[in-house]
Structure formats: C-alpha cells, structure tokens
C-alpha cells in the first residue's frame, strides 16, 4: 500500500480545516496556541467534549463507538490540519490513542460498551500507569502488585507509578501490575483499568523545569478496581501492554510533525528578525533541521503504509530515537538564534514564549517514552538481530 491523497481526501481536508478554523476563531479562540497540557485545563476539557459532540474526537474508530470509520488517509489529514489550525494539544489523547484502541483490540464487548462512549465523548479522561521509579524504560521490571480480594472479587493494587501524564485532571488510569508472586520480567503481569477518584490513590504533581506540572507520582495503597476491569486474562498483561505501545506510532506522528513545523518556522522567523540568519553556521543548522523534518515525514508515511506487521518495521523502530534527538537539537538551535534575549522572562511565573519553552521541554524528549539508550537497544535487537544486552537477575 502506498499512502496518497485523492480528490475525495482533499475535499475531506477542506471540511476539517473549515471546521477547525471556525472553532479556533470562534467559541474556543481563547485556547488557540496555548502551550502546556495543564494550562486552562477546564477549557481544554470543554474542547474535548466539543470534538466529541461533532464526532471529530476519534475519527479512526468505528462509527458504532463514536468514530467516523475514517480511512488511514483521512486520519493523517485530520492530524495535520488539527496541528495546522493552532488547536491545543489533546488532553484526551491517552484515551483516544491508547486506552480506546487497546480495549477495541483486547477488551470484552461489555468493556467496549461501558468504556468507549465516555472516551469518544470527551467526558472521561485517561492516563497511563506504566513507568515506576525503578522501572522507567524497562517496563518488564514493574513491581506494583495486584491481588484478588477473595471476598469481593475486586483487584487490590499496591505500589507506585511515576511520570503519570495528566493524572491530576484524569478520571481513569490503565495500570500494568505484577500479579503472580515470584514472577520476573514480562511473565506474571496483569493489565487493569482503575478509577482514580478513590481513597487508595494519591496523586502528587511533579513541577517541571518549564514551570508546568504535566507529570505526576501516583501512589496505590490498597486501591481497588472491579473484576470486570481486567483486560484480557491474569498474567497476560505484557501482551496487552505491548499491543498498546504499538498504537503510539500511529497517525498522531503526522500531527506531531506539524507542531514541529510551527517550531522550526518560529526559529526561522526569529533568525530573520534579529539578523542571526546572516550567520552561515546558523543557516546550516536550519537547513539540517529542515532536511531532518522532511525525512521524518517520509519515514512516517512509509511506516503508516506498512501492512506487514509480522516483520519489524525499521521506520517504526527508529522513529522515537529520530524525532526526540531532532527536537532536542531544535531546542538548542532556537536558543542560539535568540541569544541572551531567550534567557530572560518577565515576572516569576515561568511565562516563557515558544522558543525558550521548546528548549526546556525538549530536554525530556530523549528520556520519556524510552530513553535514547533503550531505543538503540531495541533497534539493535529487534531490527538488526544482534545479541541481547545482558540483563540482571533482579
């Protein structure tokens, strides 16, 4: 399959662009271009619900569950036009792109009927309970425990998750837990859906270098969830977790790249405005950034066009390493273009403009979602077939 856009697709693009432009210049103009995922959280929730009411929230889902049965091409178009419109980052993306597709793939019919409508409507927000203090990029080392209360049939969870994005504004969390005593590695893991609003869960925001608090520590102390919130079977959590991670390399990558386009364009504009564009080294770095962005687009289109999921796809395996390194370098380029003016801000509230914010936020890109070192191991082992790196016994 070769991904391309037909006349019908371009008509769809015009429809999407028109609707988004109307929203961003009308009722929701106050959140256009807002930086940071926790800024204006209540308005962002209203925006998620607006998307749901007009069936733009999860267009790739089946119409039965609130989507539009959109083709891959249409999903790519929507992601690109969404980013181009200046609409804010999706605070519902964990549900739309991860929890929902996972339940569609692994959940029971009852779970689909109970969980999917709330995600599609934007009324129920989800977060991810994967990383732990001693199991960041190595998901197979999780220690959060889950056991069944024989009296009630409920699952009882104890442990800690960290870097839980947007947990403080979410309603539910999907959690990878260790449910078999003495198990190690990917064996003995169980995948649970849990309500966050309960006495056994404590959420502590982590303030970031850019002043935002997108991430959280999440503590489970006898937290409970009903038996029907088990996805798949006990001990099969690794398969579900890996299936979920596969959804992260979906059409949202094209929307992400449109955001990168805005950032690079802002750097070019700043370089022209302050004369930095006359510096041949700056021009060379801008050209390199432009080339890198175009290569990422071609790789993403190839990745999305791949229909043979039985074999490792090089574009998919290298994409995280590629974009994270590129954007970290872009943040450094932005600060070098601004010079000393990029190092100061008015007041004490971390109210940084786009390029200093880009520099600060991009420092984490090569760490979260699998560090660059872990990504290189994945490429070596899964794509190149090299021997596995020795693992400890812990």
By CB neighbour count within 10 A (0-12 exposed, 13-18 middle, 19+ buried), where does 291 fall?
exposed
| Those residues with Cβ within 8 angstroms of residue 150's Cβ, 6 or more apart along the chain or in another chain | none
Q: Count Cβ atoms below 10 Å from residue 141 Cβ, excluding itself.
A: 17
CATH number of the domain at 250-383, please?
Answer: 1.20.140.10
**pLDDT per residue as tens digits for the range 46-71:** 999 999 999 999 999 999 999 999 99
By CB neighbour count within 10 A (0-12 exposed, 13-18 middle, 19+ buried), where does 218 fall?
buried
pLDDT at 207: 87
CATH architecture entry for 126-235: Beta Barrel (2.40)
Is 248 labeled as catalytic in the residue annotation? Answer: yes
| Those residues with Cβ within 8 angstroms of residue 215's Cβ, 6 or more apart along the chain or in another chain | 162, 163, 164, 165, 205, 206, 208
Task: Determine the average pLDDT of the residues in 30-40.
Answer: 87
The boundaries of every CATH 2.40.110.10 domain in the chain are: 126-235
pLDDT at 390: 74
Active-site position among 15, 180, 248, 381: 248
Q: Decide if pLDDT at 175 tops 60.
A: yes
Measure the CA–CA gap between 344 and 130, rounded to whole angstroms.
36
Show the CA angle centred on residue 64, arms to residues 59 and 68, nearest 5°: 20
The boundaries of every CATH 1.20.140.10 domain in the chain are: 250-383
pLDDT at 212: 81
C-alpha torsion 176→178→184→187, nearest 10: -70
In terms of Cα–Cα distance, which of 280, 272, 273, 257 is closest to 330? 257
Q: Give the predicted TM-score (pTM) of the model.
A: 0.86
């Amino acid at each position: 399959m070769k991904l391309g856009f037909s006349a019908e697709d371009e008509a769809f693009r015009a429809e999407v662009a028109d609707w988004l432009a109307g929203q961003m210049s009308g009722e929701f103009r106050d959140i256009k271009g807002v930086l940071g995922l926790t800024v204006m959280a209540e308005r962002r929730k209203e925006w998620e619900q607006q998307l749901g009411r007009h069936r733009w929230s999860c267009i790739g889902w089946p119409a039965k569950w609130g989507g539009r049965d959109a083709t891959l091409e249409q999903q790519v178009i929507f992601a690109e036009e969404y980013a181009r419109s200046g609409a804010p980052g999706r605070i519902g993306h964990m549900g739309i792109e991860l929890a929902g597709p996972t339940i569609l793939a692994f959940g029971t019919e009852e779970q689909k009927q109970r969980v999917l409508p709330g995600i599609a409507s934007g009324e129920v927000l989800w977060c991810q309970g994967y990383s732990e203090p001693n199991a960041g990029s190595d998901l197979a080392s999780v220690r959060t425990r889950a056991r069944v209360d024989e009296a009630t049939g409920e699952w009882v969870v104890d442990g800690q998750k960290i870097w839980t994005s947007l947990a403080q504004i979410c309603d539910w969390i999907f959690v990878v837990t260790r449910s078999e005593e003495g198990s190690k590695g990917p064996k003995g893991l169980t995948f649970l859906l849990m309500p966050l609003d309960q006495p056994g869960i404590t959420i502590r925001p982590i303030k970031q270098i850019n002043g935002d608090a997108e991430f959280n520590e999440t503590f489970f102390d006898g937290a409970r969830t009903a038996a029907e919130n088990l996805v798949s079977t006990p001990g099969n959590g690794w398969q579900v977790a890996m299936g979920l991670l596969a959804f992260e390399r979906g059409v949202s990558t094209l929307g992400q790249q449109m955001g990168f386009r805005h950032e690079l364009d802002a750097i070019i504009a700043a370089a022209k405005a302050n004369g930095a564009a006359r510096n041949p080294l700056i021009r060379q770095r801008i050209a390199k950034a432009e080339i890198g962005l175009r290569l990422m687009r071609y790789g993403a289109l190839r990745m999305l066009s791949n229909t043979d999921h039985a074999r490792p796809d090089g574009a998919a395996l290298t994409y995280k390493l590629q974009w994270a390194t590129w954007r970290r370098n872009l943040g450094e380029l932005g600060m070098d273009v601004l010079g000393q003016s990029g190092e100061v801000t008015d007041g004490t509230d971390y109210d940084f403009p786009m390029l200093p914010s880009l520099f600060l936020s991009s420092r984490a890109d090569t760490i979260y979602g699998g560090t660059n070192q872990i990504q290189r191991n994945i490429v070596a082992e899964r794509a190149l077939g090299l021997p596995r790196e020795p693992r400890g016994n812990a």
